[in-house]
Chain A
Amino acid sequence: MTVATKSKPSRQPSGAGMRFVGGVANYLDERTSISTAVKTLGRKIFPDHWSFMLGEIALYSFVIILLSGTFLTLFFEPSMTEVHYDGSYAPLKGIQMSAAYSSTLNISFDIRGGLLMRQVHHWAALLFVASIGLHMLRVFFTGAFRKPREINWVVGFLLFIMAMAEGFTGYSLPDDLLSGNGLRIIDGMIKGIPGIGLWISYLLFGGEFPGNDVVPRLYMLHIMLLPAIVIALIAVHLVLLIVNKHTQFAGPGRTEKNVVGSPILPVFAAKAGGFFFLVFGVTMLIASLVTINPIWAYGPYDPSPVSAGTQPDWYIGFADGMLRLIPSGWEIVIFGGTLSLNLIVPIVVLMVFLLVVAAYPFFEAWVTGDKREHHIAERPRNAPTRTAIGAAGVTFYGVLWAAASSDLIATHFRTTIEGVIVTLQVLLIVGPFIAFWLTKKVALALQRKDRELVLHGYESSRIVRLPGGEYREIHTPLDEFEQWKLVSFDEYQPEVLRPNARGKITVGARLRTGLSSFYFEDRIAPVTKPELESASQH
């Protein structure tokens, strides 16, 4: 383990090639001071763990989206002008449709590589949002959002929202039957917002639904405004990553004061660069083998038809599921206006859910009162309450997501739509509690198992007979490096309610103490040195 490289002097690079590179570098440095950047960034250390690559999947799929999307803009016509289709796809010949839909058909059937690029673009988009989701879960469950990374969590959260917005606007552009019905659902939801909903809908669609304006407007958002925001947020996200340096898992030699891993140049750059091509390759492979959004099957948007199994792309599924789970009749007339609770309640619930996700780091920091910086990523079991809260959130989201495919669940498992929906309604309420309770139990049990391992070692399955006639299994002790991974974690205890400086017990303090005991009442302390020593005695 060394700070500087100690590689043996090998063949010294020389010759014309090297002189040329040197010349270029000098030219650039004299004009851009690039050597400073190389000096600060070139040997930055990036820790190695598979879960630290998830954000990279998101970054690379975004690059793939930009590349394929640029290709698509060369041929896509963002217009709702009515045309008669005259392309290659026989079952739509002569049908009246928007120029947007017609040009999407042309991309699919008449442009070299067009269908491939459409499929690459759409698969990469689904992958983009999915990898952001998984990345967020990793950050959440390892506590990597803690100080000093709370702001970067919020930036990442905004990226997640922007990715969904990018996805939804893109899904709507082809102006096919599926996307048109998707927009109609959005329109219906917007109209449900009391007072302003109707006007927002009217301004968005340029009049009544569907109008002639929404596709070009969404196109502008999709290819200009939203990508600009996404790129800016990615830049902030990466700058903060460099400033904060990456977290690392506990391990021998790893502390809160260092970061251990591969330097950017050359190892990490090579791995990351190679990984870009792997992500690109996998996306390309899927795009060439598996169809996605066959818009020609849906036909042009027409407000009268609809397809069975009309669903949004997966990342909007949770919102669609929330709409499906509201029981009948949630609408009231109040002050002469119609209050669509069946739309307002889902909107509010989803907003609150997202706000909770965004605000969680600040909430936990307030409960623990911990102002220290944290650079060691926690194992989920070592923060049982947080892990259980996360599991409850995942369950809540998962139930909503499942609800968005209630009809397909019913047909595939040979049951009734009504049964599926009622079950999910119950699960939406009960599921998170069960998940919380179960996860906490499991996390605590795993912590206990870790303690056991540290104190008594592995069961070697070798049984010996002691002089006294007693049989006993020999335990192989862990070496100190393995032990360290299991004992080095942060320990918290419930806060005691104390009056503040002015001798008062505030409501906030009461709440915080309550939450503190909710978090830390059940806890397993890490094995201490004396415990370890006394355990190794026998």
Chain B
Amino acid sequence: MAKSDKSVAVRGGSAVERADRVENPGFEPEHKRIHDVNPEKAAGAERGISILFLLSAILSVTAFALNFLFPIVPGDLWSVRLNTLLVGVAIAAGLLTLGVGTVHWAKALMHGHELVEERHETRGDEPTRKRAIEIFQEANKESGWTRRRLLRNSLITALVAFPIPAIALFRDLAPAADPVKALKHTAWKAGTRLARDPSGTPIKASEVTIGSAFHVIPEDLHNYEETFLNEKAKSAVLLMRLPVEELNISEERKDWSYDGIVAYSKICTHVGCPVALYEQQTHHLLCPCHQSQFDVSNECAVIFGPAARPLPQLPITVDAEGYLVAQSDFLEPVGPSFWERTQ
């Protein structure tokens, strides 16, 4: 008794095995469907289902025909809408009638009794398991897998080594150049004019009225042909003009702006979305992706949200013709943080 008790405990773990469990009452009496007892109803269901199937065929042909009755006319959006709507609804109706008919057939007319299948334990039965072990043992003996250790271990070594060449093969997924260097530079250089995005026309300081926000690219950005988007992804800048008295500028940045005009990287220091929602009264910048907020009047310090660093500022000044120009590149890498950015 004690022994069998223990074996139950091992199998069921903390499960409680009760001798006084309620017993399974066995199957319920069969339930007859109206279609089983009433042949007239069954014949009716049969008719109804065949009508559904025929309707489905008609709808599918209709969907085919609708393509020609309501064709897509290039340049006419309404024709696209109509074609999509009518053809789609006709196909859908054809599919749904087909599905409903089939399921209804199964539910109402096919043999309705529940059937029972025995379950067996998932593990193989004892003779099978024994034979499987035997096969492994024979294979071991015939190959000498455990006996010939040198052979086995050298094979394992070879197998481990064989994917190694692939690592080198994948190296050319990226160019050879050092990514750290690339990320620390943008298209801005001393003297590059600030230009409107997307036209590339340069901006005069006098054009930037108080409360304005200009979306800015370097004037020569269009010279980058192949790497245009890569450079734009780092060089996009937002130019704003605030009343000078509302700008809190630290000592080392006092020459970076011009008469209340400030330029900040548009690339969020969190994960790189363009931070472009500028509120001209509160001077807050909001990133629409993860809601980081930056205070433009306070050197774009983070005031809310997951970003950790202020947006980098682009030092600007005015050239002889009155156009806004960059004094230099950004003095720190723009965009999201990466391990090497401070190295």
Using a CB–CB cutoff of 8 Å, the interface residues on chain A facing chain B are: 1-3, 5, 7, 43-45, 48, 87-90, 108-113, 115-116, 119, 148, 181, 184-185, 187-189, 191-195, 197-199, 201-213, 243-245, 252-263, 266-268, 270-271, 273-282, 284-285, 287-289, 301-310, 320, 323-331, 333, 336-343, 367-373, 375, 406-407, 417-418, 421, 480-481, 483-484, 487-488, 490-495, 516, 520, 525-530, 532
Contacts of A201 in B (CB 8 A): 179
Are B117 and A209 neighbours in the complex by a CB distance under 8 Å? no
Contact with A along B1-36 (1 / 0, CB 8 A): 000000000111111101011111111101000000
Contact with A along B277-290 (1 / 0, CB 8 A): 10000000010111
Are B175 and A207 neighbours in the complex by a CB distance under 8 Å? yes
Contact with A along B159-191 (1 / 0, CB 8 A): 000000000001001110101101100000000
Question: A483's closest neighbor in chain B, by CB?
Answer: B22
Q: How far is the CA of A237 from the CA of B128 in the complex (A)?
A: 24
Contacts of B340 in A (CB 8 A): 198, 337-338
Name the segment of B97-105, B139-147, B239-247 touching the other chain.
B97-105
Is residue B85 within 8 Å, beta carbon to beta carbon, of the partner chain? yes
Are B342 and A336 neighbours in the complex by a CB distance under 8 Å? yes
In this complex, the member of A282, A303, A333, A368 whose beta carbon has the largest number of chain B beta carbons within 10 angstroms is: A303
Which residues of B in the span 37-95 have a Cβ within 8 Å of any Cβ on A?
67, 71-72, 74-77, 80, 83-89, 91-95
Are A326 and B233 neighbours in the complex by a CB distance under 8 Å? no
Are A281 and B121 neighbours in the complex by a CB distance under 8 Å? no
A225 to chain B, nearest CB (A): 14
B70 to chain A, nearest CB (A): 11
In this complex, the member of A271, A289, A418, A492 whose beta carbon has the largest number of chain B beta carbons within 10 angstroms is: A271
Question: A90's closest neighbor in chain B, by CB?
Answer: B75
Given A306-B288, A340-B338, A288-B92 contact (CB < 8 Å): yes
Are A209 and B14 neighbours in the complex by a CB distance under 8 Å? no
5 cross-chain pairs, A with B, having the tightest CB-CB distances, nearest first? A288-B88, A369-B13, A188-B271, A274-B102, A277-B99
Question: A277's closest neighbor in chain B, by CB?
Answer: B99
Are A529 and B95 neighbours in the complex by a CB distance under 8 Å? no
Is residue B232 within 8 Å, beta carbon to beta carbon, of the partner chain? yes
Taking a contact as CB atoms closer than 8 A, the residue among B179, B273, B304, B336 that contacts A328 in the complex is: B304
Are A252 and B25 neighbours in the complex by a CB distance under 8 Å? yes
Contacts of A371 in B (CB 8 A): 10-13
Q: How far is the CA of A309 from the CA of B288 in the complex (A)?
A: 6
A67 to chain B, nearest CB (A): 12
Question: B274's closest neighbor in chain A, by CB?
Answer: A306
A2-B116, A278-B103 known; 12 new pairs, CB 8 Å cut-off, are A43-B115, A109-B72, A109-B74, A187-B336, A259-B119, A267-B106, A271-B106, A281-B98, A284-B91, A328-B307, A487-B22, A525-B16
Which residues of B in the span 313-343 have a Cβ within 8 Å of any Cβ on A?
335-343
Are B111 and A7 neighbours in the complex by a CB distance under 8 Å? yes
Are B14 and A480 neighbours in the complex by a CB distance under 8 Å? no
Are A528 and B106 neighbours in the complex by a CB distance under 8 Å? no
Taking a contact as CB atoms closer than 8 A, the residue among B27, B106, B113 that contacts A253 in the complex is: B27
Q: How far is the CA of A31 from the CA of B11 in the complex (A)?
A: 45
Using a CB–CB cutoff of 8 Å, the interface residues on chain B facing chain A are: 10-16, 18, 20-28, 30, 67, 71-72, 74-77, 80, 83-89, 91-96, 98-107, 110-119, 121-122, 170, 173-175, 177, 179-180, 182-183, 197-198, 215, 217, 226-227, 229-230, 232-234, 236, 266-268, 270-274, 276-277, 286, 288-292, 302-309, 335-343
Are B117 and A199 neighbours in the complex by a CB distance under 8 Å? no
Given A209-B230, A211-B230, A281-B99 contact (CB < 8 Å): yes
Q: How far is the CA of A143 from the CA of B20 in the complex (A)?
A: 24
Q: How far is the CA of A199 from the CA of B175 in the complex (A)?
A: 11
Are A274 and B101 neighbours in the complex by a CB distance under 8 Å? yes
In this complex, the member of B20, B71, B273, B337 whose beta carbon has the largest number of chain A beta carbons within 10 angstroms is: B337
In this complex, the member of B72, B183, B268, B270 whose beta carbon has the largest number of chain A beta carbons within 10 angstroms is: B270
Are B28 and A260 neighbours in the complex by a CB distance under 8 Å? no
A206 to chain B, nearest CB (A): 6
Are A331 and B308 neighbours in the complex by a CB distance under 8 Å? yes
Are A369 and B14 neighbours in the complex by a CB distance under 8 Å? yes
B184 to chain A, nearest CB (A): 11
Q: How far is the CA of A199 from the CA of B276 in the complex (A)?
A: 28
Are B24 and A199 neighbours in the complex by a CB distance under 8 Å? no
Are B14 and A495 neighbours in the complex by a CB distance under 8 Å? yes
Q: How far is the CA of A55 from the CA of B26 in the complex (A)?
A: 29
Are B229 and A258 neighbours in the complex by a CB distance under 8 Å? no
Q: How far is the CA of A90 from the CA of B338 in the complex (A)?
A: 41
Are B22 and A417 neighbours in the complex by a CB distance under 8 Å? no
Are B232 and A270 neighbours in the complex by a CB distance under 8 Å? no
Contacts of A302 in B (CB 8 A): 198, 229, 232
Contacts of B177 in A (CB 8 A): 207
Question: A288's closest neighbor in chain B, by CB?
Answer: B88
Are A342 and B183 neighbours in the complex by a CB distance under 8 Å? no
Question: B13's closest neighbor in chain A, by CB?
Answer: A369
In this complex, the member of B10, B28, B309 whose beta carbon has the largest number of chain A beta carbons within 10 angstroms is: B28
Taking a contact as CB atoms closer than 8 A, the residue among B85, B110, B117, B336 that contacts A259 in the complex is: B117
In this complex, the member of A259, A270, A407 whose beta carbon has the largest number of chain B beta carbons within 10 angstroms is: A270
Given A258-B116, A302-B229, A406-B291, A480-B99 contact (CB < 8 Å): no
Are B75 and A372 neighbours in the complex by a CB distance under 8 Å? no
Q: How far is the CA of A209 from the CA of B336 in the complex (A)?
A: 12
Taking a contact as CB atoms closer than 8 A, the residue among B84, B119, B305, B339 that contacts A197 in the complex is: B339
Taking a contact as CB atoms closer than 8 A, the residue among B11, B92, B290 that contacts A323 in the complex is: B290
Are B273 and A115 neighbours in the complex by a CB distance under 8 Å? no
Question: A212's closest neighbor in chain B, by CB?
Answer: B226
Contacts of B309 in A (CB 8 A): 331
Given A260-B115, A336-B343, A343-B271, A528-B20 contact (CB < 8 Å): yes
Are A253 and B336 neighbours in the complex by a CB distance under 8 Å? no
Are B88 and A2 neighbours in the complex by a CB distance under 8 Å? no
Are B24 and A255 neighbours in the complex by a CB distance under 8 Å? yes
Q: How far is the CA of A270 from the CA of B100 in the complex (A)?
A: 11
Contacts of B15 in A (CB 8 A): 368, 370, 372, 490-492
Are A44 and B20 neighbours in the complex by a CB distance under 8 Å? no
Are B290 and A287 neighbours in the complex by a CB distance under 8 Å? no
Are A112 and B72 neighbours in the complex by a CB distance under 8 Å? yes
Contacts of B197 in A (CB 8 A): 304
Taking a contact as CB atoms closer than 8 A, the residue among A1, A88, A207 that contacts B75 in the complex is: A88
Question: A186's closest neighbor in chain B, by CB?
Answer: B271
Given A253-B24, A324-B290, A192-B337 contact (CB < 8 Å): yes
